């Protein structure tokens, strides 16, 4: 059997603490720590623990040339080789026409550190408000108590006498639009987005504004937001809850035809109270009920109920291989994908505000659950943010940052 290491491995020394009652009885704190090694391989779903004595082997074995297993057995023992093969860190060369297990990852062109960081930062089954630093008064007061004052909002001037003042601007309608953009946390759960408004927002934010062909077989679309290399790798997947004339469900927006493609969920229908998703157990998927779609929306935004109430949630998921086709193994390529999602989300914020709707965007999302539902391979395509829009509620219940009272006027 021929063996080689998987394409990318990052080895992390991690201190793991656990409670041991015997230590407490012996006069200790009860908290006992141990140092463990974890291997991160981007084509695997999670990091795997490895024995410390096997770490040098992973550093010494290459990802390109195949070596005989007998040599490795003699070096570290057959049980260790079996363990690393089972973990997916060592790969056996296929004897038939099958490709090696990580061939799909190798073909995309990831910059290795970016691939590790992306895969390690994905969430699954996180129920956010209990674990995230929500920006409300109580939490901010707690942050001040625990961490002191934040860094100043402005870096002090090193040459105050040399500063050049700029003329005051004349405010116009665009300034008013910018000032009335505020993240919505209070959606009207009965209001339905008109189909014409929904279509306009999809066209303005995600639609094609022009098409070019710089080379045979290479089509380039223009959007209202910039994109590195004009590649526009980000797809918009949708959780549609309340849009006039569109059945609630999961969709993908088609930039080429300005249409919605229905997506058959790859998971069991979520139930109220679920914090994560479950893959289908072989039974065919069925249409979800209203409360099941709402339960999935809540999972998508990591338990942030105020965002899950939006009539439309847009899952922004770059196809990394679209970008990396041009920028292979490039240190900035993943950053450009992140920027791509940021540009689109900001354009959506302004377009939704102009349409009289409340927008939001959040990076606190359960990427793994979204990937599972929409059928994404995470190193090929993965969500980086979820944004959405809808009619604001008539009453302010959850605080929104509106210091100038342009969205919620004072009584």
Give the least confident one: 117-121, 128-132, 192-196.
128-132
For the CA atoms of 281, 287, 290, 291, what is the dihedral angle to 10 degrees? -10
Average pLDDT, the chain: 92
> For the segment 308-352, what is each residue's pLDDT rounded down to a tens digit?
999 999 999 999 999 999 999 999 999 999 999 999 999 999 999
Give the least confident one: 26-30, 173-177, 203-207, 238-242.
26-30
CA dist 349 → 132, 178, 237, 315, 397 (Å) = 23, 9, 17, 14, 21
Q: Which domains does the chain have, with CATH numbers?
A: 2-106 (no CATH), 168-390 (3.40.109.10)
CA dist 76 → 87, 187, 383 (Å) = 16, 60, 40
Cβ distance 241 to 388 under 8 Å? no
DSSP element (H, E) containing 308: helix 305-308
Please count the CA atoms within 13 angstroms of the CA of 191 that sit on its side-chain side: 18
Contact partners, residue 248, CB within 8 Å, separation at least 6 = 240, 241, 242, 288, 290, 293
Strands (E), 111-258: 210-215, 218-222, 234-240, 249-254
> For the segment 275-284, what is each residue's pLDDT rounded down to a tens digit?
999 999 877 8
Give the least confident one: 35-39, 61-65, 217-221.
217-221
For residues 265 and 287, what is the distance between their CA atoms, to the nearest angstrom? 9
Residue 144 pLDDT > 90, yes or no?
no
Residue 146 pLDDT > 70, yes or no?
yes
pTM, to two decimals: 0.92
For residues 366 and 276, what is the distance between their CA atoms, to the nearest angstrom? 8
> For the segment 42-67, what is each residue's pLDDT rounded down to a tens digit?
999 899 999 998 898 888 899 999 99
Give the least confident one: 6-15, 126-135, 204-213.
126-135
| pLDDT of res. 136 | 46
| pLDDT of res. 135 | 45
For residues 76 and 82, what is the distance between their CA atoms, to the nearest angstrom? 10
Residue 215 pLDDT > 90, yes or no?
no
SS3 78: helix
| pLDDT of res. 137 | 44
DSSP string for 179-196: HT------B-SS--B-HH
């Amino acid at each position: 059997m021929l063996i080689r290491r998987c394409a990318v491995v990052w080895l992390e020394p991690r201190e793991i603490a656990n409670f041991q009652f015997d230590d407490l009885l012996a006069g200790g704190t009860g908290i006992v720590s141990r140092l463990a090694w974890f291997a991160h391989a981007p084509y695997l779903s999670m990091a795997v623990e490895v024995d410390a004595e096997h770490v040098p082997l992973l550093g010494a074995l290459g990802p390109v040339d195949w070596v005989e297993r007998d040599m490795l057995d003699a070096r570290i023992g057959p049980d260790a080789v079996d363990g690393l093969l089972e973990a997916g860190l060592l790969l056996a060369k296929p004897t038939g026409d099958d490709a090696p297990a990580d061939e799909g990852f190798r073909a995309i062109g990831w910059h290795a550190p970016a691939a590790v960081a992306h895969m390690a930062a994905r969430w699954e089954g996180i129920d956010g408000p209990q674990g995230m630093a929500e920006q409300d008064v109580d939490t901010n007061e707690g942050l001040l108590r625990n961490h002191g004052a934040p860094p100043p909002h402005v870096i002090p001037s090193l040459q105050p006498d040399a500063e050049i003042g700029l003329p005051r601007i004349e405010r116009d309608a665009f300034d008013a639009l910018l000032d009335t953009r505020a993240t919505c946390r209070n959606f009207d759960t009965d209001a339905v987005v008109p189909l014409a408004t929904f279509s306009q927002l999809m066209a303005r934010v995600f639609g094609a504004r022009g098409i070019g062909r710089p080379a045979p077989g290479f089509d380039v679309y223009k959007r209202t937001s910039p994109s590195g290399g004009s590649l526009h790798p980000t797809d918009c997947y949708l959780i549609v809850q309340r849009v006039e004339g569109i059945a609630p469900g999961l969709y993908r927006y088609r930039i080429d035809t300005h249409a919605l493609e229905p997506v058959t969920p790859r998971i069991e229908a979520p139930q109220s109270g679920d914090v994560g998703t479950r893959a289908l157990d072989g039974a065919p998927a069925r249409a979800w009920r209203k409360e099941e779609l709402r339960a999935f929306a809540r999972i998508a935004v990591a338990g942030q109920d105020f965002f899950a109430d939006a009539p439309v949630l847009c899952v922004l998921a770059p196809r990394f291989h679209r970008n990396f086709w041009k920028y292979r193994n490039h240190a900035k390529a993943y950053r450009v994908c992140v920027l791509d999602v940021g540009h689109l989300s900001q354009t959506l914020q302004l377009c939704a505000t102009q349409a009289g709707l409340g927008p939001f965007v959040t990076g606190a999302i359960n990427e793994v659950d979204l990937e599972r539902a929409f059928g994404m391979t995470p190193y090929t395509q993965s969500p980086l943010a979820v944004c959405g829009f809808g009619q604001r509620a008539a009453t302010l219940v959850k605080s929104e940052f509106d210091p100038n009272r342009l969205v919620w006027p004072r009584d």
